[in-house]
Amino acid sequence: KWRLHRPNEPPSPEDLQGVSIIKPLTGVDPHLYSNLETFFNLNYPLYELLFCVQNEQDPAIFIVQSLIAKYPNADSRLFICSKNVGPNGKINNMVAAYDNAKYNLIAINDSGMRMSPETLLDMVSALTPKVGLVHQMPYCCNRKGFASAYEKVFFGTQQSRCYLSANFVGINCTTGMSCLMRKELLDQAGGMSAFGKYLAEDYFFAEAIREKGYQTVICSEPGMQNCGTYSIGEFHKRLIRWSQLRTSMIPMFIIFEPLSECMMLGVLASLAVEYMFDISPLAFFLLHVLVWFLLDYILMQIVENGSLPMSKFEFLVCWLLREVMTLYLTIQSHRDWTIVWRNRKYRVRWGGIAEEIV
């Protein structure tokens, strides 16, 4: 609560730097038009929009051209090209826009993200002289269906808990869904092209900037995901892919991640208190789960900044499903080290370097 929904004191208007916002696109979904339109209506005096698609057949081109025509006074450009600088298709898509950016501040926002009018100003305000990168904690817009509620509960509880805790103790937890960074620092690390060998380019952006002596901080506004196509199965694939990437970069996560989860921690703690204090393990486990559940409910209300857009029963069902599926998804992520991302297959070596499987 101390960190979220508390806007930073903005600099004076004459001190605001220009921002180049890079939007990598591939394909369309039902929410793409409305998501992109939010970036044409930001309350910020000096920014440009750089849209990137890989080829002339991409249907996202029509959406972008429609918005550029609707907002002729907006500083926006469309790049149709893809430089092959490594196996990371997102980096390949963005390199041309990065190389042609006008401003020293670079923002990267995925196609499924929405942005409120004040968010960019808040991100720039957080970029104090000692800060090199500002990132948004991932969250979700309200959408219809159980799959949407399930995804929202995950990002409002487990993801938020880990994200805020890691940021508090100084662990790199940066995600590339929405972040703002100093271009000069990235250029000193070789520019965007140097990160094409990684799939988790966001993590390595932050690592390179931290190595220069700068901090990475969280924006006070969560990043609002609003993808138009979603399902529980696709979301589970996403979680498995993330787990594979995390363990390839930090192998100790293989052991420590399961031990940070409610059910696994509850079982181990219950056995421990039975052995040491002769307390009923079942009673302790149920109390542990109840307290964890209540704390997660409070946390999600803080992230939501108000009452939840679902009933308590729906939250309970989503929360229980996420908790009981955790161990299964973790096991699945370790069964096969082949990562499938946007219909392409990769193998990630220790240290995060990726190789595409042809």
Residue 225 sits at φ, ψ, to 5 deg, of -80, 140
What amino acid is encoded at 112 in this protein? G
What DSSP string describes 309-322? SS-HHHHHHHHHHH
Torsion angle of C-alpha atoms 219, 222, 228, 232, degrees rounded to 10: 120
In the residue annotation, 202 being an active-site residue is answered as yes
CB atoms within 10 A of CB 137: 23
Closest CA to 311 of 297, 322, 332: 297
DSSP state of 287: H
Distance CA 145, CA 150 (A): 9
Task: List the catalytic residue out of 58, 110, 122, 202.
Answer: 202
What is each CA distance from 52 to 27, 35, 63, 289, in whole angstroms?
Answer: 11, 15, 12, 46
Place of tokens 């699945």: 332
**Active site amino acids:** 202
